[in-house]
Chain A
Amino acid sequence: MEMLTLFAIFLVSAESTLAQKFSGLLRSFRLQSFFLALLTLLAAYRSNSIELYFVGSLILIIKVLLIPHLFQTLIKGINVSDNLGLFVSPQLSLFSAGILGIVSWSFSNQIMHGTDLGQLIIGVSFFVMLVGIFLMISRIKALAQVIGLLMMENGVFLAATVIPGGAPFFIEIAVFFDILVSAMILGLFIYRIKAIFTHIDISKLSGLKG
């Protein structure tokens, strides 16, 4: 069961690199978060810990429901086109995702010699993190940066489930609220950027170069 969920996360992350519209990206992010929540709940069921249930449901609420909803209202509010703006073409993005998969696989081989499942989880979590950074690099609009950051957060959470004894509960809760607050602030900023500059094209920042 966990293998299936992991595979789903892997597929969804790879698919997010193909998204050309903001709605598509957001959908991939929701799916990814959903499967992550599922994995966490499964782990909770297996180890029978209340905390993991709590964490899983928090992932569900915040990352699957709240944050995407926040972003959708944001997009409607600032009235930009749905187009994401790509530096790298979708095919090349997918190819890069493949390379990143190989990298994360070799990485997990290096560091994890334990259970098969642990190795897989580390590998996938690292893959998710790298895809997050990749999205931040290769997409023009500021919103994609935020989604990339949130994906990296997902990857961190995934890795945290492998830690024996589980990551300390309070740390997880703290990180959650951190994410929530950052998302709100980032949303606010994008609103302000749009209000002042009338666009959220961050490639225009290169006009500031020294």
Chain B
Amino acid sequence: MLDIILIIARFILLVALAPFIGGLIGKIKNDLRMRKGQPVLQPYYNLRKLFSKEAIIPVNSSWIFTCAPFIILASALACILLLPNASQIRSPDGAASLLIIIFVLALGRFFQALAGLDAGSSFGGMGSSREMFISSFVEPVACLSIFSLILSGANFSVSTILTGLALLTVILTETSRLPVDNQETHLELTMIHEAMVLDYSGPHLAIIELASYIRQIFWITLLALIILPTYPLIAIGSAVIAICVLIAFIEIGIAKFRLFRVPNLLMFGFLLALLSIAAALVRI
């Protein structure tokens, strides 16, 4: 019984805080850029605005276009629900849950890419193509990071740090951050995630944005849990904030990679994960 209450509480907390994290990263970036920028709670205002607007459905599209946002949101919510407990993360059972999460995320991504192709514009197709391209290289990195989780033992060992770095590359890719993708632009040369959702509007767009915020907070929480599995909630919270700061610094400090260089980044992440496995085998 207590378990279920804890799960539901965690679920509500993470879903409620998801847009806040997005706003937080944006605020830190603007502070670093010496700009006033948007308020921290801007994502909430955006979502409220979008929910009050009408949705415009392109004439060329089919039922996939209208159903995709819900499937994407459902997959994002399922990730939060399936997130293993801190004590379970290093065990094979926790790894099994994480594997399920990866496939569930793939479900959301599949329908998002289909929705991008459904509108019939070049932008959508381009976004879908790039998204599927990059995500297929993310999968081995994520898989190997989970792999090394099972093998490593103590906190703050070399293998955990390397796993954390590998997961950082995964986070940058999955949350569409620089150097992989730029969330602030709508130029065809530079957008991946934005291109797929270009034709969405109103509540559909709100749902998709919410789903991407939820995915973001999921990955950041996962990274925090991996680094500090046995520490209390406050420590996890501050780790999350620290990771947000780190992501903001990376986004400010680096330019976007050319599309064909992104696999190089992910291969680097793959190597990091392999190294962490090797480190775990040598027990350092």
Asked whether the complex places CB atoms of A and B closer than 8 A, the reply is no
